[in-house]
Amino acid sequence: MADKKAASTYDARLSNQIYEQLYDYIRRQPNQLCLADALYEKDFRRETDNRGNIFFTNNHTNQDYEILLPAEIAPFTCGTKLQAIGSHWLGRQTEPNYIEDNTLVKCPLACTMGHQAPRLVNDCWYNTIAEINNIIETEKERDERNGENFIVKDCLGRSSSDNTDPDVIIVHTQRLYDVPQDLREHKKSAGKTSRMQKMTLDPVTSTSTSGKTAVRGDSTMMSQDASHDKQNTVISANTMHSPTLLPDYGGPIFHHRRASLRQLDIRDSTNNLITPDNWYSELRQGTLVLFAATMHGYVQKDPGQKGRKTWQLVAKSIKVIDRLNESVEPRYKAVLPTAEKRGTTSSAALTDFKIEKKIRAK
């Protein structure tokens, strides 16, 4: 039944020419926002920040190079990790890697373009992957000329081991969790101090502390205040939610004290923001979306170790164009890493077999 529903949805996309409309819209935009038509160094150039991280600037506007990318969300088996822990590594049994207030958590979304799409659309998808590959290979050549050698992790993948060329693009969300501005601990400057400002005190007759104090002192109240009673609040891209809106949030891996869940710029087909409790259903596998994304090369150099360069496409906004009626893939609350348990199967028993040499009697 699910396959029939999926087939009917794809048939509707073809009959309504949704794919063609999307690419026609993107390719008509000025300043080469369609990466399939753009050329590295001609239409956009590399820049670096003070840490050596790479970003790209549009040569036509001298602003951040932001591309428009239509894609279909691929399943978890292709690399999608839309979940409360994102792609965060949980660590080892002896050293769990907890998620704390300042931990950067992003969700990778594996993206494909189905073979049922028209040939021109699939050709554009191929050219987009080819241009991303061109950027990465050009940077490798630059590193070799400069005598630098990095372990490179790119943002491309394969939907099947039979594929020789990549056909999957990994797009990361922005960070999921952050500490609200009014709860951040501001570092005191060692320089000249400024004049202190008095705080506004509650009326003497009040028997409760101010809401701000309660937020600082109690993480549960912080979550409640941050969500602002979702049903009665106008949601904006700056809204901070309780992390428990994600059904798989919780458990010992999370050590949040003040962090809240950010409202990412994810919108439905009518351009309304989608709240986190609906992300999993609205971005289920097969859903056709339109990304506005930027590309980055994150450089990490640790003393005495080989440097790492990680390439990411980061979504500034995501718009759902057409949702597929596939079942929502299950999510589970993360558990702490444990020691590998010895199995009781026959294959596990092979590890216990040893040949003992016998000493012959003389």
The two tokens of residue 289 are 């979306």
Task: Return the closest-CA partner of residue 58 out of 41, 71, 72, 74.
Answer: 41
pLDDT tens-digit series, residues 132-189: 999 999 999 999 999 999 999 999 999 988 878 999 999 999 999 999 988 887 655 5
Percent of the chain scoring above 90 in pLDDT:
66
252: pLDDT strictly greater than 90: yes
Residue 129 within a domain: yes
Confidence band for 120, pLDDT divided at 50, 70 and 90: very high
Residue 310's domain comprises 2-182+228-337
Task: Return the closest-CA partner of residue 65 out of 327, 319, 296, 355.
Answer: 296
Residue 65 within a domain: yes
How far is residue 314's CA from residue 3's CA, in Å, rounded to a whole number? 31
H or E element at residue 5: helix 2-15
Can you give the pLDDT at residue 210? Answer: 38
Task: Return the closest-CA partner of residue 322 out of 16, 23, 110.
Answer: 16
Amino acid at residue number 1: M
Name the pairing type of β-strands 150-153 and 307-322. Answer: parallel
H or E element at residue 7: helix 2-15
Residue 112 within a domain: yes
In terms of pLDDT, which residue wins out, 115 or 189? Answer: 115
Can you give the pLDDT at residue 361? Answer: 56
pLDDT tens-digit series, residues 181-232: 888 876 555 555 556 665 555 554 433 333 333 333 333 333 444 444 455 5
Average pLDDT score over residue span 250-274 = 96
Can you give the pLDDT at residue 350? Answer: 53
What is the SS3 assignment for 310?
A: strand
313: pLDDT strictly greater than 90: yes
The two tokens of residue 5 are 């529903």
Range among 199-213, 225-239, 271-285, 296-310 with highest mean pLDDT value: 271-285
Task: Return the closest-CA partner of residue 275 out of 322, 321, 239.
Answer: 239
| Number of domains observed in the structure of the chain | 1
In terms of pLDDT, which residue wins out, 362 or 228? Answer: 362
Can you give the pLDDT at residue 114? Answer: 82
Residue 75 within a domain: yes
pLDDT tens-digit series, residues 43-89: 999 999 999 999 999 999 999 999 999 999 999 999 999 999 999 99
Can you give the pLDDT at residue 277? Answer: 97
How far is residue 72's CA from residue 329's CA, in Å, rounded to a whole number? 15
Confidence band for 8, pLDDT divided at 50, 70 and 90: confident
Task: Return the closest-CA partner of residue 227 out of 209, 217, 216, 215.
Answer: 215
Is 254:243 a contact under the CB 8 Å cutoff?
Answer: yes
Q: What are the backbone angles phi and psi of residue 280, rounded to the nearest 5°?
A: -65, -40
Residue 21 within a domain: yes
Residue 91 within a domain: yes
Can you give the pLDDT at residue 65? Answer: 97
Burial code (b: 16+ CB inside 10 Å, e: under 16) for 100-110 equals ebebebbbbbb
Q: Exposed, middle or buried by CB within 10 Å (0-12, 13-18, 19+), for 126?
A: middle
Residue 214 within a domain: no
Can you give the pLDDT at residue 345? Answer: 52
What is the per-residue DSSP string for 228-256?
A: T-GGGS---TT-EE-GGGSTT--STTB--
| In the chain, beta strands by DSSP E | 44-48, 54-58, 66-73, 108-112, 150-153, 156-157, 168-172, 177-178, 240-241, 260-262, 266-267, 288-300, 307-322
Task: Return the closest-CA partner of residue 209 out of 225, 197, 232, 226.
Answer: 225
Can you give the pLDDT at residue 211? Answer: 38
pLDDT tens-digit series, residues 98-111: 999 999 999 999 99
How far is residue 43's CA from residue 55's CA, in Å, rounded to a whole number? 14
How far is residue 67's CA from residue 354's CA, in Å, rounded to a whole number? 59
Residue 343 within a domain: no
Is 333:243 a contact under the CB 8 Å cutoff?
Answer: no
- Within 13 Å and on the Cβ side, how many CA atoms surround 170? 25
Can you give the pLDDT at residue 164? Answer: 83
Can you give the pLDDT at residue 202? Answer: 53
